[in-house]
Structure 1
Amino acid sequence: MSERLSSATRIIVMVCFLVGLAIVVLDPFTWSRVSGVVQLLAGAIAVVLVAALVAMLLGHGEMPEEEFRRISERSELMSTLPPGQLQPSEFEEAVVQAIDDLPAEFQEILKDVPIVISDLGHKYGAYGHYIGDTVARDDFRDHIVIYQDTLERDFGWDPDLLRAQITRTVRHEVAHHLGWDERGVEGLGL
């Protein structure tokens, strides 16, 4: 039956049911209060009519042709793309290469350490951050952040220089993970 009812009719039926339920719960029927019931019914009918009018006004809106065409074209385009295959950027490839160039022992130590690329370097005035408790203590979850925005800002004009600085930054943060403080890392030339 509900397939044959329009959305406005379904709303009217639901509102009538809810109003009737409210009447029974809030003011149980007695024959001595017939005038009160008539007033409540009149109010319920008014509410139903207003609800029906609102439902009809809101229910007949159509999507503009331009919007429908735009959504259809976007869906067509998205259906041709392979799912979830983003090509890594040159910056990401440079970070991966810097990690791959590390000695095997360091790569083993880093296997459970996420290395994240972020664009918040301007906020910290840094090229990278090591966040954690070093490999020696390991009380906190470790991760390394490489800041793409500040590295590209300061070294992006020369691709070779940018790659060299990415490598230096990765090594600097790995040294922190291995336990060196800032002075010790500087002593390593990083």
Structure 2
Amino acid sequence: MSPVRMSEEDFERAVQDALDRIPPDLLDAMDNVVVLVQDEPEQQTQEDEQDGSALLGLYLGVPLTERDGGWSGMLPDRILIFKGPLERCCEDREELVEQVAVTVIHEVAHHFGIDDERLHELGWG
């Protein structure tokens, strides 16, 4: 399968469109978090992609459910969306746009303290 290619601008638009799918009250509840596009994860190996465990996104931070009063004044949490692995795991543009949305929502859910097991139960795994 050859990768689906998308310009950086189009990919960032797909990420923004995914964020726009999140209900406004949840977006308003997000606190001190930034969503970034990165070409590749720093620790990804070719074997990871071959066995189907490509890292498509990553949440780096302290979930809202674990923050206490001493948390204020910290650097923002980061949600990283990895363009290369997403392009390589999809067969066409439509699938890529949908997988970007799933990945963004999955990582935002981690910001709210929802773990992978629960996300899989909800169909966002």
Matching residue of 2:115? 181
RMSD between aligned alpha carbons? 2.0
Q: Are the aligned partners of 1:120 and 1:147 in contact in 2 as well (CA < 8 Å)? A: yes
CA distance in 1, matches of 2:64, 2:95: 30
CA distance in 1, matches of 2:11, 2:30: 19
Q: Quick one: which amino acid aligns to residue 148 of structure 1? A: K
CA distance in 2, matches of 1:112, 1:97: 20
How does the TM-score come out when normalised to structure 2? 0.73
Is structure 2 residue 86 aligned with structure 1 residue 151? yes
| Aligned positions of 1:154-165 closer than 5 A | 154-155=89-90, 157-165=91-99
Q: 178-187 or 113-122: which moved more? A: 113-122
Say which SS state the counterpart of residue 108 (structure 1) adopts: helix
> Judging changes above 3 Å, is the alpha-carbon distance between structure 1 residues 171 and 136 closer, same or farther for their aligned structure 2 residues?
same
Say which SS state the counterpart of residue 43 (structure 2) adopts: helix
CA distance in 1, matches of 2:122, 2:34: 23
Say which one has the larger Rg.
1
| Aligned positions of 1:100-115 closer than 5 A | 100-110=20-30, 112-115=32-35
Is structure 2 residue 97 aligned with structure 1 residue 168? no
Say which SS state the counterpart of residue 58 (structure 2) adopts: strand
- Of Structure 1 and Structure 2, the greater helix share is in 1
Say which SS state the counterpart of residue 123 (structure 2) adopts: coil
CA distance in 2, matches of 1:123, 1:186: 23
Structure 1 unaligned residues grouped into runs of 5+: 1-86
Matching residue of 2:10? 90
Q: Are the aligned partners of 1:122 and 1:150 in contact in 2 as well (CA < 8 Å)? A: no
Structure 2 unaligned residues grouped into runs of 5+: 1-6, 45-53
Structure 1 residue runs of 4 or more that deviate by more than 4 Å after TM superposition: none
CA distance in 2, matches of 1:122, 1:112: 23
Query: By how many angstroms is 1:111 displaced?
Result: 5.8
Say which SS state the counterpart of residue 114 (structure 1) adopts: strand
Calculate percent identity across the aligned residue pairs.
32
Deviations 1:17-38 (A, max 9, x none): xxxxxxxxxxxxxxxxxxxxxx
CA distance in 2, matches of 1:92, 1:184: 27
